[in-house]
Amino acid sequence: MSFGQMPLANAFLNKKDFSSEYFYKLEPAFCEHCHTFQLTEQPNPRAMFHENYAFFSRTSNYMITHFQQFSHWVIERYLHNKQPFVMEIGSNDGILLENFAHQGIKHLGIEPSANVAEVARQHGVNTECQFFNDELAQQVQQQYGHADAILAANVMCHIPDLHSIGQAVSRLLTPKGVFIFEDPYLGDVLDKTAYDQIYDEHVYLFSAHAVTNIFKPYGLELINLQYQTTHGGSMRYVLARNKQYDIDSSVTKQLTYEQTQGLHKMATYEQFRKNCEHSRDTFTNTLYKKKQQGQQIAGYAATSKSTTVLNYCQIKSDLIDFISDTTAIKQGKFSPGMHIPIYPYETFKENYPDTAVLFAWNHKQEIMAKEAEFAQQGGQWLTHIDL
Ligand code: SAH
Ligand code: TMP
């Protein structure tokens, strides 16, 4: 299926750069062989992850708590060695690893985006500014030894060459070591028609079937999984070397569930395509109607996901006046492709629009808790999906 010409989701830009903006074709496909939902054209990772990377994990307090809990869970369940070594792929600003660092646990974060890596270091997180792959894994193994836990959150879906990751993980893990990662769950994307989870950085959307198939050739099996409500519906997968652990019943349950949901059938994805087209038409119609009524409409949070929505629906600043966001690096710039101005959060707070489009619908709970006043003053929330 095609979402048309798309800019990079996090390539917020200045006016002077409008004419040289980069576009690619956003065209995902389902692989009937390995069961991953994946992009057919992947922009170069070096164009996406660099010293001006715009996503800082710490912008969500909810995620700070989530990662604290994640660290406790890993420590209690899997870190039984006296001096364990924990490695994280895509450690960003250190939101997860700092919880291990504070307990004096030997750790290493691999993070190619220099600006976020620097913030992690400021939080006491040992960080290597590199892309993780099998070549780097060899160096890590020589320098640090084998890992008791390799962690990753919202990054496995970013890495085009998963074979290299399979090799690297199988090289690095101790015999009883675990590879734990969480990512947006394909089942939720289909259920919610959350097509905005599809963008350049999300090369893949996984399911339990996909994860099983991808890591099988590397002697790794899925031993446990846990559904997470984060990022609009995610799945945490735990993998280990074959036959080291009993397979938890959650794995078989999820595999069966995916079969009953038809995640393996092409017809499911044909239906998804239709649902996306329907969603686009109803969402743009709603915005046009509101505009005709003379409403002022603002976007709440310039998320990566919003780039897909805005460009697929062709929503420009004649419909959405501005988008507010708390991230300094995005403010004063324009949204990728549609060039809607991004203003600081205070602009929203001081000039409530009639309608706010909640692009950060994955942070709804946190945002509703702090924005009660907006609705009390008559403001309306709108999302492109039913929550
Ligand atoms: N784990 C954090 C950050 C997710 S954003 C969280 O869940 O909030 C994805 C991060 O992965 C970015 O910081 C990006 O720079 C990094 N990344 C992308 N490709 C990578 C690779 N090949 N190896 C390691 N990190 C990578
Ligand atoms: P994400 O959906 O990719 O996690 O991006 C979240 C974006 O939303 C990030 O740019 C910060 C912004 N944001 C706000 O502006 N206000 C908020 O309250 C929250 C939670 C996020």
What CATH number does the domain containing 9 carry? 3.40.50.720
Which pLDDT score, from 0 to 100, does residue 141 have?
98
Q: What is the dihedral of CA 168, 169, 170, 173, to 10 degrees?
A: 120
Cα torsion angle, 6, 331, 373, 361, sign: positive
Q: Is residue 289 part of a domain?
A: yes
Angle, vertex CA 22, rays to CA 20 and CA 28, nearest 5: 165
Which pLDDT score, from 0 to 100, does residue 387 have?
77
Structure-block tokens of residue 96: 């997860």
Q: Is residue 74 part of a domain?
A: yes
C-alpha span between 36 and 44 (Å, rounded): 20
Question: Of 231, 263, 295, which residue sits at a domain end?
Answer: 263
Q: CA nearest 307: which of 200, 223, 180?
A: 200
Q: How many CB atoms lie within 10 A of CB 73?
A: 13
Cα torsion angle, 84, 218, 125, 75, sign: negative
Q: What is the dihedral of CA 193, 194, 198, 201, to 10 degrees?
A: -160
- Please answer whether residues 308 and 2 qualify as being in contact, where contact means their C-beta atoms are separated by less than 8 angstroms: no
Same domain as 288, residue 221: no
Same domain as 355, residue 213: no
Residues 6+ away with beta carbon under 8 Å from 32? 264, 266
Q: How many CB atoms lie within 10 A of CB 328?
A: 11
Atom of ligand 2 at shortest range from CA of 62: 20
152: domain range?
A: 33-263
| Helices 162-172, 208-215: inter-axial angle, 10-degree rounding | 70
Atom of ligand 2 at shortest range from CA of 300: 15
CA of 159 to the centre of ligand 2 (A): 22
Burial label for 291, CB within 10 Å (0-12, 13-18, 19+), is middle
Question: Of 235, 263, 291, which residue sits at a domain end?
Answer: 263
- Please answer whether residues 356 and 299 qualify as being in contact, where contact means their C-beta atoms are separated by less than 8 angstroms: yes
C-alpha span between 50 and 295 (Å, rounded): 38
> Quick one: how far is CA 220 from the chain centroid?
23
Same domain as 151, residue 272: no
DSSP 197: G
Same domain as 20, residue 71: no
Q: What is the pLDDT along the chain (387 residues), one digit of tens a residue?
A: 999 999 999 999 999 999 999 999 999 999 999 999 999 988 899 999 999 998 999 999 999 999 999 999 999 999 999 999 999 999 999 999 999 999 999 999 999 999 999 999 999 999 999 999 999 999 999 999 999 999 999 999 999 999 999 999 999 999 999 999 999 999 999 999 999 999 999 999 999 999 999 999 999 999 999 999 999 999 999 999 999 999 999 999 999 999 999 999 999 999 999 999 999 999 999 999 999 999 999 999 999 999 999 999 999 999 999 999 999 999 999 999 999 999 999 999 999 999 999 999 999 999 999 999 999 999 999 999 987
Q: How many CB atoms lie within 10 A of CB 32?
A: 10
* pTM of structure: 0.95
Q: Is residue 335 part of a domain?
A: yes
CA of 56 to the centre of ligand 2 (A): 9
First vs last C-alpha separation in the chain: 24
Same domain as 83, residue 102: yes
Nearest CA to ligand 2 atom 7: 303
The ligand with the least distance to the CA atom of 60 is: 2
C-alpha span between 2 and 9 (Å, rounded): 16
Q: Which residues form ligand 1's pocket by a CB distance below 6 Å?
A: 45, 49, 53, 55, 57, 89-90, 92, 95, 110-113, 116, 131-132, 153-155, 158-159
Q: Is residue 134 part of a domain?
A: yes
Residues 6+ away with beta carbon under 8 Å from 142? none
Q: Is residue 306 part of a domain?
A: yes
Same domain as 47, residue 172: yes
Q: Is residue 387 part of a domain?
A: no
Atom of ligand 1 at shortest range from CA of 53: 15
| Number of domains present in the structure of the chain | 2
Same domain as 246, residue 292: no
Residue found under tokens 């959307």: 205
Structure-block tokens of residue 123: 């939080």
Same domain as 92, residue 225: yes
Question: Of 209, 234, 263, which residue sits at a domain end?
Answer: 263
Q: How many CB atoms lie within 10 A of CB 42?
A: 17
C-alpha span between 348 and 292 (Å, rounded): 21
The ligand with the least distance to the CA atom of 150 is: 1
Mutate which of 8, 48, 60 for ligand 2 pocket (most atoms within 8 A of beta carbon): 60
What single string gives the DSSP state of each residue in 78-89? H--SSS-EEEEE
Same domain as 206, residue 132: yes
Structure-block tokens of residue 152: 């990753």
Domain CATH for 234? 3.40.50.150
Cα torsion angle, 360, 236, 29, 8, sign: positive
Same domain as 186, residue 78: yes
